[in-house]
Structure 1
């Protein structure tokens, strides 16, 4: 089985599209960064580095400091697939991130997006 083409895409090429998506719906880059850091454990400097160094999505998730244990609480449909039913662990992580970005863009409450955790972050 060949690897999905998306695995080789750079995080730095996808991130600006996420920013555009949330800003188009009157939400902020800060909200986007918050959900990505919640999911992956990267801090702001780590995100900036991942954007700048051209690492692939595969490397982005492989090098993630700490995937959030509550990520499994992310459910729903993204790209026509239920995220909780995706068998490939890397694809599931990518779709978790896509789902979180969609939730920010739709204006879902941050407490819901973060699955009830880290709500007091400044």
Structure 2
């Protein structure tokens, strides 16, 4: 699935710190914990608690966030629709990685078991 260059550029410029509070709110509203969210983020990106906080404090853009991440080798197993896009068909690698994260947060908020989320 092709996204527009404008869409991809907008995603690249977004800071992780600006989106992170929305992830926390989304999962906590559904009875999940911040610790579970961090577990999911660490599975995808390799960022442990301290490294994740550094990314937030430095207000890094998603492009830097994912350039410095150690993407899980099983990330390609993340499938489904998020924000109107089928994640496995997104052609831009950065946009796909951001949507992987969105999809995992969505699955966590919907009550999916961590064992299933962490493929």
TM-score by length of 1: 0.90
Runs of 4+, deviation exceeding 2 Å: 1-4
Aligned to 1:79: 83
Structure 1: where are the runs of 5+ without partners? 116-122
Alignment partner of 1:100 is 2:83: no
What is the CA distance between 1:97 and its match in structure 2?
0.1
Structure having greater relative contact order (Cα 8 Å, sep ≥ 6): 2
The correspondence for 1:41, drawn from 42, 46, 59, is 46
Alignment partner of 1:90 is 2:82: no
RMSD: 0.9
What is the CA distance between 1:95 and its match in structure 2?
0.2
Alignment partner of 1:53 is 2:62: no
Structure 2: where are the runs of 5+ without partners? none
What is the number of equivalent residue pairs in this alignment?
Answer: 114
Aligned to 1:119: none
CA deviation vs aligned residue, 1:21-48 (integer Å, no higher than 9, x gap): 0001111000100000000011110000
SS at match of 1:26: coil
| Aligned equivalents of 1:82, 1:8: Cα separation in 2 | 22
